[in-house]
Chains A and B, each alone.
Chain A
Amino acid sequence: MEPADVELRNTTYRRFVELGRAPSAPEIAAAMGIAVEDVRAGWRRLHDGHALVLDGDGNIRMAAPFSAIPTAFKVEAAGRSWYANCAWDAFGIGAALQVDSSFDTECPDCATPIRIAVRDGRPDDDTPVFHVLLPAARWWSDIGFT
């Protein structure tokens, strides 16, 4: 990965954290002093390298563990909130920020709310279980479904 793409990726992530939502291409272009077209081209390279995920319009869909769209996993950490892409990522936001966190979801089977607080990396409730439907070799074949 080229240094310029690493810088673009890091700026995108930093702004995602700061804004509590996905940054737009013009926002990143302004932050970095580069053209919007260069942001979009760089994002495409990062998408192809699995460093982030774009939607059909070329906007940020995922900067894992962060999700650009509302999901069943809402995470609170450091006084702000984000959506995570899945249960793994719900833990991942606190891990990436290196702070305690909490998240809300619901059991897909019975819709009972589940709220997990994470302190020092450990959940406060050890009764829920995590199910991975697809084997690891297929995770990127449809990352949205995964």
Chain B
Amino acid sequence: MLLFRSEAHVTSWLAGREPGTTISITKLAELAQAWWADRLPPHWRPHTRDQNQAILEELGLTGPFWRLG
């Protein structure tokens, strides 16, 4: 889960290996807000798998790659 200067740098770094998925840094920031914003309050409860899947889907991160185990 790394940050690259551009998609061209991802391609160069992969050097022919099977790629995963690339998203924009702005989408990543939205994902982090949705995923982590409730982790420190005293009333914290663990996210269920379905809650986490819903976060991904609400951000358009759908399809087999984003299907949680």
Residues of A participating in the B interface, judged by any CB pair closer than 8 Å: 1, 6, 9-10, 13-14, 17, 49-51, 65, 72, 85-98, 105, 107-110, 112, 114, 116, 118, 121-123, 125-141, 146
Within 8 A of A (CB), among B29-68: 29-33, 35-37, 39-40, 42, 44-46, 56, 64-68
Query: Which range holds the interface residue count of chain B?
Result: 35 or more
Name the A residues within 8 Å of B37 (CB-CB): 95-96, 98
Compute how far the CA of A105 lies from the CA of B28 in the bound complex, rounded to whole angstroms: 15
Pair B66/A122 contact, Cβ less than 8 Å: no
Given contacts A107-B3, A114-B3, A114-B5, contact A131 B44 (CB under 8 A): no
Compute how far the CA of A9 lies from the CA of B36 in the bound complex, rounded to whole angstroms: 15
Pair B40/A127 contact, Cβ less than 8 Å: no
Pair B4/A9 contact, Cβ less than 8 Å: no
Pair B20/A132 contact, Cβ less than 8 Å: yes
Give 8 CB contacts A-B under 8 Å.
A1-B45, A88-B28, A91-B36, A109-B10, A128-B3, A129-B4, A129-B22, A132-B20
Name the B residues within 8 Å of A128 (CB-CB): 3-6, 25
Min Cβ gap A112→B in Å is 6
